[in-house]
Every structure is written in C-alpha cells, then in structure tokens.
C-alpha cells in the first residue's frame, strides 16, 4: 500500500493562494486475465484511512504552507485518517460502495453484522500491545542506554504482562521494533493510540448527529480539518465536541467497557 502524498501544499501567501494537490495510490494484486480487480476489506480500510489524510490536505485553509493539512503535532496527525476507517462499518456507506461484482447485489445484513463483530476481534490484545510498545519507546528515549545491560530484564520491568505474555515471554521487542529509533516516531509511538482515542470521541459526535449529517461534517471540517497545524488542536477539538474528551470512548468503541 502506498499512502496519501501531497504534491502541492495549500497556502495563502504571495503571489496568490495555492490550491492543494494530493494523490492516493494503492497497490493491489493484479487480477487474472479477463477478471476484475476486487478489493478485500483490509484494502478498503486502507483506502479510507489514506482518504482521511487526503481530505486533511484538500480541506486545508491556512496562511502558511508549513501549517497545511497533516502538518500538525504528532498527536493529531492520525486522527482524520483513523476516523475515516469507521465508515467501513456503516451500513449506509457499504450500501454505496459495496456490491456484488456480477449480480450487483448489496452486501446482505447478516454479513455486515459479522464484519462489525469481527472488528473487535482481539481488540484488547492489540490495545495492550500498543500501550506496551509506547511505554518501551518512551523508556528508551528517556534513559541513558549505556547503562542498560540486560534488555530482557528491562522489558520485563516496563511492560504490563498479561497471563499469555508471561507464559510466552521469550522474545525481545527493543531489538526489532524499528519505530523506536526511525521513521520519525522516536518517543512518539504513543500517538497511534492517542489519535485513536481522539477519533473515538469524534465518532461519537458523528453518531449523535447521524453519520452523514452535513451540518456536523461541516463543523468538523471548519474547526479541525481546515486548520491543519495552525491551531491548538485540543482547544478546537473541545470546541467541536462541545465537551471534554471522554477517555472511555475508545474502550467503548472496542467493546471493552
Ligand atoms: Zn496514517
């Protein structure tokens, strides 16, 4: 898969306002000769995710190009993208884009119910893992590595272990987890889950208004998407939500609370 890539950034500086230009590129398996290219659920989710980054860039309305679209603090950059993934689990959206490639039939209700249920499969394990990875990332960047002699011991101290981990605890994460030291995530791996926690609040707001309510979508666009990195995003987030962030929103989304 290839991400959303901004070719030209929006700005409002001399000599004239520049409009944004962004492309989303997706690599998928080439179909057999004469067959159609069909997308699986994961691929559609990726398209929605990257569309979220794309919309963040396209809806930008800021003065400086350095503030445009996804040029936000790390805390917010994955919010519009992970939020868009929610549409994959909405009947109305699936009715628009999902149909049988031969008969044209819409996706049956019972299949949609299965898709929605499968979303939370192993959600707790995944959440546990990402919190542990975030803690480890923070630990490495907040300590003097020279003094660390035993990585296994360190990980045992940093990680929250569940019963499964304690039974199967033979592998090291630090030595193969590239996000700790490269790719711009140093001490920022937490932002994946944090963005997810924020987007769960935005999702609740959309659900209250109706997922396709245009007035609400317009407020989301104006207060958050169009502002890029030119604002304090937490302040605008609360303006949009009209309340404080709910820390339980993510757990409820995953059906863990
Ligand atoms: Zn992303």
Mean pLDDT value across residues 39-64: 92
Residue-wise pLDDT for 61-70, tens only, equals 999 988 988 8
What CATH number is attached to the domain comprising 198? 1.10.1370.40
The domain total for the chain is 1
pLDDT of 31 reads: 92
Ligand 1 centroid – CA 32 distance (Å): 30
Is 133 inside any structural domain? no
Residue 35 covered by a domain: yes
Inside any domain, residue 218: yes
- Give the distance (Å) from ligand 1 centre to CA of residue 84: 11
Over residues 24-47, the mean pLDDT reads 91
Q: How far is the CA of 76 from the centre of ligand 1 (A)?
A: 11
Dist. CA 169 → ligand 1 center (Å): 30
Tell me if 75 is assigned to some domain. Answer: yes
Distance 49 CA to ligand 1 centre (A): 6
Output the CA 17–ligand 1 centroid distance in Å. 27
Residues 6+ apart with CB under 8 A from 224: 79, 80, 233, 236, 237, 240
Its pTM surpasses 0.85? yes
Q: CA triplet 212, 214, 219: central angle to 5 degrees?
A: 115
For residue 3, name the pLDDT band (cuts at 50, 70, 90).
low
pLDDT of 165 reads 66
pLDDT in the model for residue 164: 63
In a domain, 173, yes or no: no
Q: Is the pLDDT of residue 141 over 70?
A: yes
| Cα(82) to centroid(ligand 1), Å | 7
Residue 209 in domain: yes
Active site members: 50
Residues, CB within 5 angstroms of ligand 1 (ion): 81
Determine what percent of the chain is predicted with pLDDT higher than 90: 51
Average pLDDT over residues 206-230: 96
Percent of the chain whose pLDDT exceeds 70: 94
Is 222 within a domain? yes
pLDDT at 2: 43
Give residue 40's domain range: 4-122+191-253
Give 137's pLDDT tier (boundaries 50, 70, 90).
Answer: very high
71-97: average pLDDT: 92
| pLDDT of res. 161 | 74
Q: How confident is the model at residue 1 (pLDDT cuts 50, 70, 90)?
A: very low
pLDDT digits 0-9 by tens, 163-214: 666 666 677 888 888 888 876 778 888 998 999 999 999 999 999 999 999 9
Which range among 62-71, 78-87, 120-129, 184-193 has the greatest average pLDDT?
78-87
Please state the rounded mean pLDDT for residues 13-40.
88
Identify whether 68 is part of a domain: yes
pLDDT of res. 47: 93
């Amino acid at each position: 898969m290839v991400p959303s890539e901004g070719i030209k950034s929006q700005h409002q500086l001399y000599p004239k306002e520049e409009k944004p230009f962004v492309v989303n590129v997706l690599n998928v398996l080439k179909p057999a000769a004469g067959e159609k290219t069909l997308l699986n659920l994961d691929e559609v989710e990726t398209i929605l995710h990257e569309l979220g980054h794309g919309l963040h860039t396209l809806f930008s309305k800021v003065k400086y190009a350095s503030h445009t679209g996804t040029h936000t603090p790390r805390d917010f950059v994955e919010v519009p993208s992970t939020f868009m993934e929610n549409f994959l689990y909405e009947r109305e959206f699936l009715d628009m884009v999902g149909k049988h490639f031969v008969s044209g039939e819409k996706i049956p209700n019972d299949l949609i119910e299965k898709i929605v249920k499968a979303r939370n499969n192993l959600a707790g394990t995944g959440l546990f893992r990402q919190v542990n990875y975030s803690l480890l990332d923070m630990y490495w960047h907040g300590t003097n590595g020279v003094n660390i002699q035993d990585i296994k011991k360190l990980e045992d101290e940093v990680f929250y272990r569940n019963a499964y981990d304690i039974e199967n605890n033979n592998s090291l994460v630090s030595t193969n987890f590239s996000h700790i030291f490269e790719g711009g995530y140093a001490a920022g791996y937490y932002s994946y889950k944090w963005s997810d926690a924020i987007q769960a609040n935005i999702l609740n707001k959309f659900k209250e208004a109706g997922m396709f309510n245009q007035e609400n979508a317009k407020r989301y666009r104006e207060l958050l998407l169009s502002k890029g990195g030119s604002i304090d995003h937490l302040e605008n987030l609360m303006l949009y939500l009209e309340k404080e962030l709910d820390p339980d929103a993510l757990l409820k989304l995953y059906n863990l609370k």
